[in-house]
Structure 1
């Protein structure tokens, strides 16, 4: 089973997250940040990943620590659930439109965390979340999951841009971690990810 449960507690946040890569897309998300809950629920549904997130954080300060730490914990759980990567497709991409917005995501689930993020949000950002924090979430996720991601977004509406990005990432991830019976081994000439 390709599952993981991770708990992380700091002076700023307390997060418990579980996921099943081979799920149905069920999500139970409680972060204290309604817009971010919506993004993670979209991520679960379109990635067909069962995802449970319970997070408390210092939201009286701002959402930064909570969103960053959820990225860390989600990335850690993804790395654990992929394991050595035996049989995964490894590379995948997806494009998702949402009205005037378009997100393109290309992934390599190859053990090296790296993010290239191209696109802009307004200074306030989607759902009142500073726009740069969305990019920071993906950076934290990729760094801890060992995923190289190229995310390109365009559009005018921050909500649409952000939601398209989460959905495109999820769809690309679903394809990249899919088991290909023809591979049967770790998809790398090095013999490990």
Structure 2
């Protein structure tokens, strides 16, 4: 990717985290200024699909390799992937100089509409207003999606509000939430040339 000569804009905004516990081993990497490439292998097909959506619609390059105790269930792997990706995103943002900071996006998918509003405030918080009519999407428990968004917000320093405004198909509901996250996050991490490398906060730090 061509980078601008301006020092503030030329910074390579990438993060990479390796996280190993007794339950999982995760390698997660993100390039905030990528082109939407994803190389993802979590062992959970539907989660891979959602992370590919995050990369594609956020124009992030994402690499994730995960080995987890899937013989128990998908909880530890789902949460730990989000922790590692959140930490990699935190790393890539650095001091968050020059970013737009806020992002809002609506994502329709057939009968479904979801909205994400976020603030890269480094004060993590999750509002989750998403309900499902089934316990699973594919083989994945629907209750795990809140866990993923919670862990990503917590470890990425994101104040994150996720709402499904309406919809019937559970697959569509989840996917529209991830697509809205991708689009809102893409806007929030963008460099605003008018900020000239300034941290977007009256405190002078995020």
SS in 1 for 2:113: strand
Between 1:96-105 and 1:125-134, the stretch displaced more is 125-134
Whether 2:78 is the aligned partner of 1:64: answer no
How far 1:11 moved relative to its partner?
Answer: 0.6
**Contact 2:82–2:148 under 8 Å retained in 1:** yes
Q: Which contiguous aligned blocks of 4+ residues in structure 1 show a shift greater than 3 angstroms?
A: none
- Residue deviations 1:65-92 (CA, integer Å, cap 9, x gap): 0000011001101111011110000001
- What's the offset of the Cα at 1:127? 2.2
What is the CA–CA distance in structure 2 between the aligned matches of 1:131 and 1:37, rounded to whole Å?
Answer: 15
Post-superposition CA distance 1:108-159 (Å, at most 9, x none): 0011110001020134232232222101100000000110011001311111
Q: Which residue of structure 1 aligns with residue 88 of structure 2?
A: 77
Alignment partners' CA distance in 2, 1:181 and 1:150: 27
Residues 134, 170 of structure 2: 8 Å contact kept: no
- Residue 29 of structure 2 aligns with which residue? 18
Q: Is the radius of gyration larger for structure 1 or structure 2?
A: 2
- Measure, in 1, the Cα distance between the counterparts of 2:57 and 2:74: 24
Question: What does 1:38-187 correspond to in 2, within 5 Å?
Answer: 38-153=49-164, 154-184=166-196, 185-187=198-200
Give the unaligned 5+ runs of structure 1: none
Q: Would you say how many aligned residue pairs link Structure 1 and Structure 2?
A: 193
Task: Tell me by how many angstroms 1:20 deviates.
Answer: 0.2
Query: What is the CA–CA distance in structure 2 between the aligned matches of 1:51 and 1:134, rounded to whole Å?
Result: 19
Secondary structure of the residue that 1:182 maps to in structure 2?
helix
CA RMSD across the alignment: 0.8
**Alignment check: 8 A CA contact 2:125 2:153 kept:** yes
- Separation in structure 1 between the aligned mates of residue 112 and residue 59 of structure 2, nearest angstrom: 22
Structure 1 length as normaliser, TM-score?
0.98
- The aligned residue for residue 190 of structure 1 is 203
